[in-house]
Structure 1
Amino acid sequence: MNVTIKYAAGSDIGCVRENNEDSAYAGSRLIAVADGMGGYAGGEVASSTVIGSLRSLDADVPVDDLEDALGRAVAEANEKLRIAREERPDLSRMGTTLTAMLWSGAHIALAHIGDSRGYLLRDGELFQITKDHTMKELLNPDSGDGPDDGGEASRLSHVLYRVLDGREDRDPDLRRREALLGDRYLLCSDGLSGVVDAQTIYEVLSEEAEPADAIGRLIALAREGGGPDNITCVIADVVEGDPNSTMRDPQIVGAARQR
């Protein structure tokens, strides 16, 4: 049985920020979300550089090479950030999260660094398949996904200890997954997950049949919650089909779309 993905991507500036520092890509074999940081221009450059670098992976990669190919691509993207920082001192503080999935049929390589998130809806249950690289998670891994109380835990939830920023030793979490028909994957920046709770995300993913409709609803909910940050989502549904015959144009959203 041939397996492929039906995908959509969306990004919104939110209700507070003056620019969109998120970038995302959705194609037949690659989906990715990057949340940039580091000043007005730095975040845009960081996220769009990484997403632009990864785009070449949206091709037919042998199953046995999935993890190595994705790992190499992330390292190459991080090297491009290093070069950009050296050429432009005003970008010295820039960095970006990255959550990306590279597909070959039902086989997936997942790379993750930072606090953007990956979720899986399978058989009526929602699972978070990434671990936030925040000080809150590092110091208290059993703290759960409840709302912040506005105190020290809230502050630590925004402090990242791992991002892509052009420096050495910026390896992502990298592992293999197996997809099943009917799976729905969501990658998102913390502009969504920091505002919309997991139960609401579950309800939207369960109720909306079309990926684009689910993304539109999730973004609207994040804006209703105040939209304090940029909001970016990619959804991929695992369906029967041949990627070579069902390929369509990829979707690029956020800062990467402008570059």
Structure 2
Amino acid sequence: MPHARGRRRQASVASESSRFVFSACSIPCERHPEHNEDSFISDASTGLAAVFDGVGGSAAGEIAARIAARCTHQGWKTVMRRLQQHYPSGLLLDQQGDHHQELGRYLREVLEEADELIRTEGAQLAGTDDLATTVALGVFCPLSNAPGALLLYAHVGDSRIYLLRPGEPLRRLTTDDGLLGKLVENKVLKDSDALRIDQAMRFEDLSDLELNYFRWRGGITQALGGPLAPTIHVDQTTIAPGDRVLFCTDGIHDNLTDEEIAALLKAGPRSSVARLLVERSLQRSREERHMTIRAKPDDITAVVVTCRF
């Protein structure tokens, strides 16, 4: 179900199906504990996981994220009902199934509807059209002829999706719609330099110019509900037993390096690994600037899906 928590200090849930364990946790920024501008979906029954990070000011950001979560969840349930009319097995797919592309199109349509609802209902509720939200979303579709699953995923903005496979390095599935990405696209930076800047821990790791890039790396170039219709990035990958997939807002990846995220994903229990990521990010956000440049008070949200062996 979709969640947006402001009055509660922490929202933490766990659910599971025969093939997956879903772990989710979200907390508001300590600077505004009365409301959370993040929302999330963690629904093992439909295989849907998502995080949303509202932008545009406290009330407006919270409204945008909440509307997007509700619309996305309801929209995907509608898609599933439609699929069950045509495919008796629902989302039980063949690895080379011919309706993978169709599912990707449905995913894009669901987010386009959320984008439109933020611009209409959201603007009316917030009393402003200055509201938007990022999204990182995935649907886990069990395979009929293999023990794993097909992950169809989509994102807009700088909320991220990571894949950790046993024995392999952490893999980032998404590329941020942000400053560093634009600098790479415009050949101002190489991919390797953008990654080094993004993962920096201390002032001395960066030049003065790179430090400015680091400070502005959270500036996003598009979002759901933004001034222009977004380009929704849609892709897919195969998930194997033992894999873990993390969906997170920038409260996680701004505070923690990829190396730290990987270590927590490896060590955390299936049902509480999201909470561990959130708590460690909160600890980092409280650290003094002389200790690390990564410390950033923020709303913090993680959803982790573990594919069972």
Same fold, TM exceeding 0.5? yes
Shift of the 39–14 alpha-carbon distance from structure 1 to 2, 3 Å rule, reads: closer
Q: Does 1 or 2 have the higher relative contact order (CA < 8 Å, sep 6+)?
A: 1
Q: In 2, are the aligned partners of 1:22 and 1:35 still within 8 Å (CA)?
A: yes
Deviations 1:96-123 (A, max 9, x none): 0000001211112110111111111102
Tell me how far apart the structure 2 counterparts of residues 168 and 154 of structure 1 sit (CA, whole Å): 25
Tell me how far apart the structure 2 counterparts of residues 69 and 101 of structure 1 sit (CA, whole Å): 12
Matching residue of 2:67: 49
Matched residues, number: 238
Correspondence 1:232 to 2:301: yes
Q: In 2, are the aligned partners of 1:17 and 1:229 still within 8 Å (CA)?
A: no
- Residue number among 197, 204, 208 corresponding to 2:268 in the alignment: 208
List runs of 5+ in structure 1 lacking aligned partners: 241-259
Shift of the 141–173 alpha-carbon distance from structure 1 to 2, 3 Å rule, reads: farther
Percentage identity across paired residues of the two chains = 26
- Residue number among 153, 174, 183 corresponding to 1:110 in the alignment: 153
Tell me how far apart the structure 1 counterparts of residues 181 and 215 of structure 2 sit (CA, whole Å): 12
Matching residue of 1:147: 200
Matching residue of 1:129: 173
Give the deviation of 1:90 after TM superposition: 2.8
Q: In 1, are the aligned partners of 2:55 and 2:132 still within 8 Å (CA)?
A: yes
Deviations 1:14-57 (A, max 9, x none): 33334210000011210000000111211111111111011131
Q: Secondary structure at the match of 2:170?
A: strand
Tell me how far apart the structure 2 counterparts of residues 199 and 89 of structure 1 sit (CA, whole Å): 38
Deviations 1:99-148 (A, max 9, x none): 00012111121101111111111023211111111112210352103127
Deviating 4+ runs (over 6 angstroms): none
Give the deviation of 1:159 after TM superposition: 1.0
Give the deviation of 1:171 after TM superposition: 2.4
Matches within 5 A, 1:3-152: 4-18=19-33, 19-28=35-44, 29-56=47-74, 57-58=76-77, 59=80, 60-61=90-91, 63=93, 64=99, 65-88=102-125, 90-105=127-142, 106-124=149-167, 125-139=169-183, 140=189, 142=191, 143-144=194-195, 145-147=198-200, 149=203, 151-152=211-212
Q: Larger Rg: 1 or 2?
A: 2
Q: Give the counterpart letter for 1:232 in structure 2.
A: T
Q: Secondary structure at the match of 1:91?
A: coil
Q: Give the counterpart letter for 2:30 in structure 1.
A: C
Give the superposed CA RMSD: 2.2
Tell me how far apart the structure 2 counterparts of residues 114 and 103 of structure 1 sit (CA, whole Å): 21
